[in-house]
């Protein structure tokens, strides 16, 4: 894949996002493209940066450190979002590297993040991951528990909870899950909705996504695809 192809691919995804937003009567600028760079070769990441992409999603702390720690210095306007499950023993590293944690999903993690942020003197924006399909193998809080968990995160832990994130079940139409997430966020007065991936980001935009997380449609197939959704080992 050449630089030109990747730049074109980013432009094409942006056009599709903008079209979906306009069709839904939304401002295209209200939707941020999160380029999911996990497991992608270095040259594709460089090509994305060269094409002006600045918001990236990663789902493993160590892999993200290796890829981004030095690049951060060269690109101060970079925004890194953790979109994968986080073990509490990696909370410190995550807080040092990332700008946004999208996968807060249990009290122990909320407390570890709050401690790590206090120690680092950084207050990251956070999202609560919601298991909209209530799948047993999947991370995220159940829809019925979101309100109580939000209260724990915001009031007890002092986290800056900005919104909600979900990964719908692979074998169901995603629209109902996006609608549910949007409804939960509206009830809590939360402005950020991270939903929609390569196969369904236009639907997500229609339902109010503010952040779509696009990997393969943008970068091409990952070298070793992995399931994005499993719980961290400790949970």
- Which residues make up the interface to ligand PLP (CB under 6 A)? 36, 38, 59, 83-84, 167, 197-198, 213-217, 228
Beta strands in the chain (DSSP E): 32-36, 55-58, 79-82, 100-104, 125-130, 160-166, 192-194, 211-214
Token reading at 182: 């949007």
> Is the Cβ of residue 118 or residue 217 nearer to ligand PLP in the bound state?
217
Closest distance between ligand PLP and the C-beta of residue 155, in Å? 27
Radius of gyration for the chain, computed over Cα atoms and rounded to the nearest angstrom: 17
Closest distance between ligand PLP and the C-beta of residue 8, in Å? 17
> Is the Cβ of residue 37 or residue 112 nearer to ligand PLP in the bound state?
37
- Name the residue with tokens 């986290």: 159
> Is the Cβ of residue 190 or residue 218 nearer to ligand PLP in the bound state?
218
Classified as helix, coil or strand, 219 is helix
> Is the Cβ of residue 196 or residue 208 nearer to ligand PLP in the bound state?
196
Can you tell me the distance from the alpha carbon of 171 to that of 140, in angstroms, rounded to the nearest whole number? 18
Closest distance between ligand PLP and the C-beta of residue 217, in Å? 6
Beta bridge partners, 82, equal: 58, 101
Closest distance between ligand PLP and the C-beta of residue 132, in Å? 13
Nearest-10 Cα torsion for 146, 36, 221, 165: 10
Closest distance between ligand PLP and the C-beta of residue 121, in Å? 28
Contact assessment for residue 98 and residue 117, using Cβ atoms and an 8 Å cutoff: no
> Is the Cβ of residue 44 or residue 213 nearer to ligand PLP in the bound state?
213
> For helices 61-74 and 42-50, what crossing angle results, to 10°?
40
Can you tell me the distance from the alpha carbon of 161 to that of 191, in angstroms, rounded to the nearest whole number? 10
Closest distance between ligand PLP and the C-beta of residue 58, in Å? 9
Token reading at 188: 């809590």
Closest distance between ligand PLP and the C-beta of residue 219, in Å? 8
SS (H, E, C) 25-57: CCCHHHCEEEEECCCCCHHHHHHHHHCCCCEEE
> Is the Cβ of residue 48 or residue 83 nearer to ligand PLP in the bound state?
83
> Is the Cβ of residue 156 or residue 199 nearer to ligand PLP in the bound state?
199
């Amino acid at each position: 894949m050449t630089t030109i192809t990747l730049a074109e691919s980013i432009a094409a995804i942006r056009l599709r996002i903008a079209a979906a937003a306009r069709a839904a009567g939304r401002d295209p600028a209200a939707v941020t493209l999160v380029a999911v760079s996990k497991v992608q070769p270095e040259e594709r990441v460089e090509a994305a940066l060269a094409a002006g992409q600045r918001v990236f999603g990663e789902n493993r702390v160590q892999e993200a450190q290796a890829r981004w720690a030095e690049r951060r210095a060269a690109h101060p306007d970079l925004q890194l979002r953790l979109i994968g499950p986080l073990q509490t023993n990696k909370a410190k590293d995550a807080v040092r590297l990332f700008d946004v944690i999208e996968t807060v999903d249990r009290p122990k993690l909320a407390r570890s993040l709050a401690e790590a942020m206090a120690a680092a003197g950084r207050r990251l924006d956070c999202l609560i991951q919601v298991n909209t399909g209530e799948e047993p193998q999947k991370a995220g809080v159940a829809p019925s528990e979101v309100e109580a968990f939000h209260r724990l995160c915001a009031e007890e832990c002092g986290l800056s909870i900005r919104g909600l994130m979900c990964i719908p079940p692979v074998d169901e139409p995603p629209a109902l899950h996006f609608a549910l997430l949007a409804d939960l966020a509206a009830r809590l007065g939360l402005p950020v909705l991270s939903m929609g991936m390569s196969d369904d980001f236009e639907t997500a935009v229609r339902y109010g996504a503010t952040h779509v997380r696009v990997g393969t449609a943008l970068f091409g197939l990952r070298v070793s695809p992995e399931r994005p959704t499993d719980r961290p080992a400790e949970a």
